[in-house]
Structure 1
Amino acid sequence: MSESMYIPNSAYRIQLRNGTTFKQAASAISYLKELGIDAVSVSSPFQSLQIGDGILTATDPTELDFELGSESGFAHLNSELASAGMHLIVDLNPNQMSASYENAWWFDVLEWGPSARHANHFDVDWTRAITLPVLERPINEEIQADKFQLTFDREKTSLGVSYAGRFFPLAPSSYREALKGINNKIAVTLIETASRATSTTTADFHTDLLKAFDHANITDRLEMASGLNDIAKDAGRMIGLMSLQNWTLVQSKGASEPINYRHSADSKLTVGLRVEDPAVFMDFHKMPLSLLEKTQIKGFRVNEIDELADPAEYTRRLRSHAGEDIFVVTDKILLGEETYNDDWHVNGTAGYEFISTVADLFVDHAGLSRLQRMYEYELEPRSEFPSEFPGDYRHAKASILHATFTDELERLVQLLAELGPPYAEELLLRRAIAELIAELPVYRTYSKDGALPPFDVDMLQSIAAQISRREGQTADVVEILAFILRIMNSEDTSSSPDVASSFIIRFQQLTAAVMAQAIQKSYRYARGPIALDELMLSASPTSDPIGAFHRKMVDRAAAMPSGMLATSFSYTTKFGEDARMRLLAFSEASGVWARAVDAWRQCHAANLATIEAVVAPDPKTEWLIYQTLAAIWPVSLRIDDDAGLASVREELVGFMERAIRESEKQSFWTGVNKPYEQAVMNYVDGLFADKEFLSEFVETMRPFWLTGALNSFSQTVLKLTAPGIPVIHNGAETWDLSVSSAPTRGSFDFDALKDQLAYADQSPLNLLLEDWYSGGVKQRILKSHLKMRQEMPRLFSEGKYIPLKAVGKQANHIVAFYREFEEQYAVIAVPRLCFDMLKPFTTPFLPLPEWEGTFLQVPDALVGKQFRHVMTDKGFTLASKVSLVEVLREFPVMTLVSE
């Protein structure tokens, strides 16, 4: 990386939209400056739509979003950033765009088909018309129900079909058929204009159409509208007219026609972009690249990187056009033993792997195993899934592959058949491909220089061997798997290299999409008792979590020291960062939590309903209700605060509705089981009506909340001092007890956050600890550490990471290390697994007698040096052993920085 490259010291993540515009983001800048932030990371500022489950897709990457404030709003934000000396990191979403009429490129493709200027921009199979799964019922029924309109849309300056709020332009070559029988001047003019038009003169074509429409008298326009209405009611003419188009409309569920374009993991209302084509790349990136020269934008975050045809080549091209001094990260999520891709031309990832790395420190694995057994065997004794540590998504992936990506799977089968496999039966080919995709433990493999790297080869061979050993496995499937592996490694491809290349690329893109969907929709396959359906707890249990953390941080310092560190929302998580820390505390007192849930279930058994012989809510859903309530309950909430209780209930109900629709009671939003949902809502209402239960609940949860708060202190300090760039998600600088996914979170009151920061600055630490539930103490931790990072930026961006060893009674309850760069040092120690210590108390402060006799061993390089405690400002001269009682006396986490 270039020495002149911009590396932010910290970043604050703001999700634009849902109430947050450029203007609202600009209003936060003075507060963020005071907090100590030097870069703002925002979701895409370009014209976009939210499709499906909150996924953001571009409709025009060449324009700033008008709903966010367009040019004037962005200019205001840019001015505020410049005045504060801060920079901007913006999201790029190059994998897909919206498959809707709002997308001018897609509109062009629907209108002109394979001859359109933008036909090559999208990943479409042009052997037939584009199949759009939008109809609720068969087309004949929808025509009879008057659901179609045939109309001239003045805004789109096109003749087209309207259905359910969507507009589909007619091919100009079909205008004559559409207007047949309408014999007036405007109809004749439209037909003549369309007959002259070509895909290269489309702008003139639409200008001429608008001119003809505007110049026509009202009588002719009404006559044309009436004639078009008559055609729309004639099933024969409408079906005939639509057969002439570059698109065909089919049912959204159970469509017989396969979808012939690549779509997102979440919605067929998106269409994949071919950014591997240099011309497409430039068209999509023209605006963001131009803004680098004129604005405070100094970096990009690339989303859905694994669904691109060639992520490494994409990052190389982006870097070559953006320049060596621009900061670039991707949303790549590392799973299992997967390592960072060192051939990508980026600074690192968006940091989501840090979520699981940190969470593993705060799980008591023995207690977790006990909870897991109770959850699996007592709540649902006949569970179809065996008791196993979460993180295995193969059942979910298999279901998703066949339910959502059938067309993509069939395309792979066709490509594989063309390559001459040992057996040509499509059933066998489909089975082999599906099993390989379901078993893949990572998002995808990566071809490099025409072959797979050793890690990918070993992984695929291991998977193939595992599949081959299954009881009942057939020799033909085993041979096909071996053939696929040779194809993936660019062997046996000489006869059809283009087909083989297409198979490899599409296989890799599909595995990424399936894994993303499996993790995002993980409620259905949740087997864990404390949010174990979330990615961050998918790490395998280890006998030495502290050692594992240190090894990962040492590797991170070497591989991507300027990658990001995130602890808050990604699309893979369901709980806010502090809600998650509460839930991890359950593993430390598994018996307390399990007995409490069992007692509450028995107490509220009368609130259960029976719907078609099914108990609602089922035991696992009951568990999820109590777990979620524990995660989101504000500690300061009083039982007599009806408005506060109503707010918590509303959030819980919203979360449970989402969980139910993604659960095994419903298959990925294919329908809504209203009776079941209502039974769950009634159960929740029963809980909130029972004040005695609420009082007992709060009393039972208090030590878990204290432990969660201390976990949060530790997590925050680790994020601010470990190798990488800390990212604070908007609102997570104070307690983040939310359960909504990032794209749907609303706007934040930055004035209130600024007032709370002033309170945190002016209050003594002991008072902030007593008032810990306000969240001011977390802000104080953040500001103090961000200031330290600003004073010693290279210590944290380039410094070594060196583990420290603790000795004594509580050695297993402390994580310690130091950072070193050119005679600058920071020594960090944070507690873990402290439930038993905290349960008698009311504040998240470590009882000092427990820490008597526990020391940090200090290397000779640090002995005798002067340090300052970042939180207390107290000075220390380090000896060969540091008493944890002394350094934790005034605050429960320790960061010492050299003077």
Structure 2
Amino acid sequence: MKKPDTTYRLQLSPGFTIEDLKPRLEYLHKLGISTIYSAPFFQAREGSTHGYDVIDPFTINLEIGTLEQFREIGQTLQKRNMTWLQDIVPNHMAYDGGNVWLKDIFELGPESKYYNFFDINWDYQGKDKVMAPFLGKSLQEVLEAGELKLQFDAEGFSLAYYDNVYPISKRSYSFMLAEANPESSQNFDKVFKEHKDWEDIKIALYRELERNPKLKEDAEAGVKKINSSKQKMEQLVNLQYYLPAHWKETEKEINYRRFFTINDLICLSMEKEEVFNAYHLYIKELCDAGLIQGLRIDHVDGLYDPRQYLQALRNLVGKDFYLIVEKILEAGEELPRDWPVEGTSGYDFLATVNHLFTNTRNDRFFSKAYEEISPKFADYEALVYEKKLFILKERMGGELNNLWDLLEYKELLPSNNSYNKQEWKEILSIFLAGFPVYRIYPGKYPLTKPEAEIIQTAYGNAVEHSPQHKEGLDYIRDLFLGKVNRNKESMLYFLQRCQQFTGPLAAKGVEDTSFYIYNRLVSHNEVGDSPENFGITIDQFHQAMIARRSQFPYTINATATHDTKRGEDTRMRLNVISEIPREWFEKVNEWKELNAGIRKNKKGPGANEEYFIYQTLLAGLPYRQEDDFLTRTCEYLQKVLREAKVHSNWAEPNEDYENDVFKFIEEVLHNDTFRKSFDPFQKKIAGLGAVKSLGQLLIKITSPGIPDIYQGTELWDLSFVDPDNRRPVDYDLRQEFLVKFENLQVSKDSLKELTTNFKTGEVKMYTMLKTLQHRRENEELFTLGEYIPLEVTGENSGNFVAFSRRFKNDYSLVVVPALVNELFDPSNLAVDIERIKDLKVVLSKGYPGTWKNIFTNEFSDNQGSLELTSHLEQFPVVLFKSAKDK
């Protein structure tokens, strides 16, 4: 297997193309990167900045580059012994008129070979149509206003609603052409008779119109005639295989599966062999050509049977091909061991290391203080349950109806049914909202013990919240467990189908709603993390890393991704306040009083949102003034307010409330009295957060797993959620720093300059560069080596985490401060020597006698331990390698 050693996540887009990447490859190679980890780069919607809205999986996005350019990249990578890890999207494609498969379906209906490629219920209410929810109001209102327009170009005839353009069906051409001159219609009929292939017919028709001005004039007249008549337009619409609908209708009714609640991302039936084979055809070609050496599978939980899919993919690419999945693991949840993959895309690592840098001893203090600020939202579990129910009923009502219909169609209801349809929908909702994880992966009955335990937990949660429905919940539990007297195959199908919606329900109810409401310590309101948890002990971290090395040694270690809610270094800033709860909440109360006058004549922000804003400013305020900081922050807070769905939402934005919040932030930032209190505290947190960030970085690169560097995070990452975290990266600046480090004479003075001027981010990049280079020189040590927890002794030793990696006779040793308050000077990252007197890491027999500090080039002798005080005096984190001599 050509596995990665270190990945670098890149967002190829119209703003950063393959040609733009070429000159950066040498920089990334020198940085220590082994693998380019690319976001989806197949043909997507025009202007797509993320690539997850694929419309054609058989070509590279023309706005990004060409296959030939990608081949050139491949040749360059091969020369540097580098590889390419590609993100693919098997769950869904863009619901777009340009989608190559949808276009064929819309034109040919059941005659299309792709007719059953998408997860569409064509029999829904006997309409033989898929909903097309791209209208801004009801279809009748749109028809009355004449906003739906028939048009014609080289691609054929289509219906347009502003920017949304969908082809019309083959069967509607005769009706549409009949509106032209009867003599012209005969010429059109001739074209149809002379050609059998639909694409040939359209080409011939277009050529005929271009060749014959009279025919073109008649066709244009026919188009105008239909566009000017509501009745004729309605007739034309009725002849389509899609039904234009108001986008909000999907909240109550829908007949296709979508990605989460996003109407314009339509899901594929990837469990069908013909769909799998067709979708992966080009991907397979790129892999066979040696241009791609690994695949990252997006949203594996959306698939009907992830295990089956992954096995098929493994069979396709071979047993020695690197595969990872995007998978959210709740606290304590494990990735299924029988999945033929190397691991996940790293959210689980992010959560673990995030909690390591949180002082778990202050859990109760934070909870009590937050309850005083926001008593309505302080019960996290109750909030999550409430919001999952809200999403299911108010945003996924169409999906809920479909599950009910399936329950009834499969004859899975009890024979002595005492509930009506509405009551059963309520019972099913309550049960699904009770799932403690994204989903399970049932393949047969009886369920495995872990699967059955999750069903039982969901049942317990449901009964706790709705004891009055216990009888119905009992039945659903037994149905899911396969214990009722019904067809086993039908029961398993229903359970599997439900699992395709518990994931989106969790994502929307938890990550995209509760995470924007529950604000106790928002560093843990993070994808893959769990806000109800508050830190772990150093021993718990060690145990997690030992398990990681044992179970999935090639899984990804991520601390920032395109999906994270905030930048990796903003989280470390916020984790500092977990160490100083009394001081933090005293400051919050002080700021609330200082800003009370600003809030006086405004509807917002509420107390909970104001508390969130202070955390946001504390974490995101840049080291140097940025002209767009206020704009970026307001754009971010608009998303926060709408996702929270408390005072505003995407469906019906409360712009007055939002504007009051924006004005509050602007006035707060210009409030001198507030800034005199806030700025010194913020600078303290920023400096101490920087120390945690260096520790987070060092642990990511040296722990079991494959470290991933998200684009641009070589320097401080203080970004907000997407799209803020996709801003262009200044590679020229990073290249400049790299050259500086290549010529750096490491000394006490040069290290002091790095730490004193830490605000530039150079100290982070220096830490990254030195550690990645060390990892590259000792690849087997970090991919195969043991993970060994080490004991630290001396004053404040409990604040430090230490471990070694060992492979044969090679060793590395890591020491990082997990808790930093009062140990480091936030103005220059200098350690307080008096507070770490006699700090040592204990070594057992068999460890080397001489060690070299990677960052300082200083040597230490093993005398049963290694002293740490002098090393931390020079640099905030320590990385030793075994050295034969000085």
Aligned counterpart, 1:867: 851
Partner of 1:246: 241
Tell me the CA shift for residue 595 of structure 1: 2.2
The answer to whether residue 282 in structure 2 is matched with residue 287 in structure 1 is yes
* Alignment partners' CA distance in 2, 1:361 and 1:593: 20
Q: Tell me the secondary structure at the aligned position of residue 447 of structure 1.
A: coil
> Where does residue 590 of structure 2 map in the other structure?
599
Asked whether 1:562 is paired with 2:564, we answer no
Is the counterpart of residue 804 in structure 1 residue 790 in structure 2? yes
Report whether the alignment pairs 1:393 with 2:392: no
Rounded Cα–Cα distance in structure 2 between residues aligned with 1:544 and 1:263 = 37
**What SS does the corresponding residue of 1:748 show, helix, strand or coil?**
coil
Q: How does 1:62-81 map to 2 (within 5 A)?
A: 62-81=58-77
Q: Does the 8 A contact of 1:575 with 1:738 survive in 2?
A: yes
Change (3 A) 1:98 1:451: farther
Q: 2:606 aligns with which of 618, 635, 639?
A: 618
Q: Give the counterpart letter for 2:817 in structure 1.
A: P
* Amino acid of the structure 2 residue aligned with 1:784: K
Residue 166 in structure 1 maps to residue 164 in structure 2: yes
Asked if 2 retains the 8 angstrom alpha-carbon contact of 1:827 and 1:896, the reply is yes
Any gaps of 5 or more consecutive residues in structure 2? 745-749
| Cα drift, residue 358 of structure 1 | 0.5
The answer to whether residue 138 in structure 2 is matched with residue 123 in structure 1 is no
Distance 1:606 1:832 in 2: 39
Q: Does 1:688 align with 2:669?
A: yes
Q: Does 1:851 align with 2:836?
A: yes
Deviation at 1:98, TM superposition (A): 0.7
Equivalent residues of 2:97, 2:165 under 8 A apart: yes
Give the C-alpha shift of residue 232 in structure 1.
1.9
Provide, for residues 269-320 of structure 1, a one-character-per-residue CA deviation record: whole Å limited to 9, x for no partner: 1111112122211211111211123243211111011101111111111111
- The equivalent residue for 1:262 is 257
Question: Alignment partner for residue 756 of structure 2, among 770, 775, 793?
Answer: 770
CA–CA distance in structure 2, aligned partners of residues 670 and 181 of structure 1: 39
Tell me if structure 1 keeps the 8 A contact 2:784–2:807. Answer: yes
Q: Is the 8 A contact 2:329 2:335 kept in 1?
A: yes
| Residue 692 (structure 1) shift | 4.7
Which of the numbers 374, 378, 393 marks the counterpart of 1:380?
A: 374
**Match for 1:847: what amino acid?**
D
8 Å contact kept, 1:373–1:387: no
Give the structure 2 partner of residue 404 of structure 1: 395
Alignment of 1:352 onto 2:337: no
Counterparts of 1:378-457 in structure 2 under 5 Å? 379-381=373-375, 383=376, 385-388=377-380, 393-417=384-408, 418-422=410-414, 423=417, 425-457=420-452
- In 2, distance between residues paired with 1:81 and 1:692? 55
- Deviation of 1:63 (Å): 0.5
Whole-Å separation in 2 of the counterparts to 1:93 and 1:823: 43
> Using the alignment, how far apart are the partners of 1:601 and 1:470 within structure 2?
35
Deviation string 1:748-796 (CA, Å, 9 cap, x unpaired) is: 1212111022234444222111111111111111111111111111111
| Residue aligning to 1:641 | none
Shift of 1:543: 8.4
**Residue pair 1:830, 1:893 contacting (<8 A) in 2 also:** yes
Matched with 1:528 is: 520
1:17 and 2:2 are equivalent in the alignment: no
TM-aligned CA distance change 1:530 to 1:151, over 3 Å = closer
> Residues 196 and 112 of structure 1: is their aligned pair in 2 closer, same or farther, counting only changes over 3 Å?
farther
Distance 1:609 1:672, change over 3 A: farther
Structure 1 contact 867–875 (Cα < 8 Å) conserved: yes
Write the distance in 2 (CA, Å) between the matches of 1:260 and 1:466. 30
- The amino acid of 2:561's aligned partner reads F
d(CA) in 2 for partners of 1:431, 1:60: 39
Tell me which amino acid in the other structure corresponds to 1:486: L
> In the alignment, what sits opposite 2:291?
296
* Aligned position for 1:325: 320
CA distance in 1, matches of 2:72, 2:149: 42
C-alpha distance in structure 2 between counterparts of 1:142 and 1:835, whole Å = 61
Decide whether aligned partners of structure 1 residues 194 and 147 sit closer, same or farther in structure 2, where only a CA change above 3 A counts: farther
Alpha-carbon distance in structure 2 between the residues aligned to 1:509 and 1:471: 24
Identity %: 25
1:446 maps to a residue whose letter is: Y
* Gap change, CA 1:285 and 1:362, over 3 Å in 2: same
Q: 1:666 Cα deviation (Å)?
A: 4.8
In the alignment of these two chains, the number of paired residues is: 869
Secondary structure at the residue paired with 1:120? coil
User: Aligned partner of 1:867: which letter?
Assistant: W
State the shift of 1:535 in Å: 3.7
Amino acid at match of 2:706: I
Alignment-mate amino acid for residue 806 of structure 1: V
Q: Of the candidates 635, 638, 642, which is equivalent to residue 654 of structure 1?
A: 635
Q: Give the distance between the partners of 1:775 and 1:290, measured in 2 at CA.
A: 41
Shift of 1:403: 2.2
Q: 1:811, CA displacement in angstroms?
A: 2.5
- The TM-score with structure 2 as length reference comes to 0.93
Correspondences of 1:349-748 after superposition (within 5 Å): 349-377=344-372, 379-381=373-375, 383=376, 385-388=377-380, 393-417=384-408, 418-422=410-414, 423=417, 425-470=420-465, 472-487=467-482, 491-492=483-484, 495=487, 497=489, 499-522=490-513, 523-535=515-527, 537-538=529-530, 541=533, 545-571=537-563, 573-608=564-599, 610=601, 615-635=603-623, 637=624, 644-666=625-647, 668-741=649-722, 745-748=726-729
Per the alignment, in what secondary structure is the counterpart of residue 707 of structure 2? Answer: strand
The question of whether the paired residues in 2 share the 8 Å contact of 1:655 and 1:740 is answered with: yes
| Alpha-carbon distance in 2 for matches of 1:469, 1:711 | 40
1:640 counterpart residue number? none
Q: Residues 50, 495 of structure 1: CA spacing in aligned structure 2 closer, same or farther, 3 A cutoff?
A: farther
Counterpart AA for 2:374: E
Give the letter for the 1:822 counterpart. Answer: K
The match for 1:87 is 83
| Partner Cα distance (1:256, 1:539) in 2 | 28
Deviations 1:621-651 (A, max 9, x none): 222222212212222x2xxxxxx35322122
Shift of 1:529: 3.7
Residues 446 and 453, structure 1, Cα contact 8 Å, conserved in 2: no
User: Does the CA-based 8 Å contact 2:95-2:264 persist in structure 1?
Assistant: yes
1:660 to 1:470, Cα distance in 2 relative to 1, 3 A: closer
Distance 2:540 2:649 in 1: 36
Cα distance in 1, alignment partners of residues 251 and 768 from structure 2? 55
For the pair 1:334 / 2:315, whether they are aligned, the reply is: no
Does structure 2 conserve the Cα–Cα contact (< 8 Å) formed by 1:51 and 1:57?
Answer: no
Query: Any idea what the Cα deviations from partners look like across 1:156-200, whole Å, max 9, x if unmatched?
Result: 2x22211121222222122222222311555434445457877xx
The answer as to whether partners of 1:186 and 1:221 remain within 8 angstroms in 2 is no
Separation in structure 2 between the aligned mates of residue 851 and residue 59 of structure 1, nearest angstrom: 58
> Which blocks of at least 5 consecutive residues in structure 1 are unaligned?
638-643
**CA offsets per residue over residues 187-227 of structure 1, 9 Å max, x none?**
434445457877xx33323333333333231x432332233
DSSP 3-state at the match of 2:63: helix
- The amino acid of 1:44's aligned partner reads P
TM-score by length of 1: 0.92
Query: Per-residue displacement from partner, 1:820-850 (whole Å, max 9, x unpaired)?
Result: 1112111111111111223x55112321221
Query: Is contact 2:131–2:243 with CA below 8 Å preserved after alignment?
Result: yes
The Cα RMSD (Å) is 2.5
Deviation digits for residues 322-359 of structure 1, max 9, x if unmatched?
12222111111211221121111111111111111011
Question: Using a 3 Å threshold, how does the CA distance of structure 1 residues 276 and 536 change in structure 2: closer, same or farther?
Answer: closer
Residues 734/405 of structure 1: CA separation in 2 closer, same or farther (3 Å cut) = same
Partner of 2:100: 104
Q: State how far apart, in whole Å, the 1-side matches of 2:17 and 2:295 are.
A: 19
3-state DSSP of counterpart to 1:616: coil
User: Which whole-Å deviations, capped at 9, do the CAs of 1:690-747 have from their partners, x for residues lacking one?
Assistant: 3453344221212211110011011001101100000000111111011132686122
Distance 2:217 2:600 in 1: 57
Displacement of 1:570 in angstroms is: 4.5
Aligned 8 A contact 2:442 2:492 in 1: no
Task: Indicate if the aligned counterparts of 2:850 and 2:859 stay in contact, CA closer than 8 A.
Answer: yes
Deviation larger for 535-544 or 103-112: 535-544
SS at match of 1:56: coil
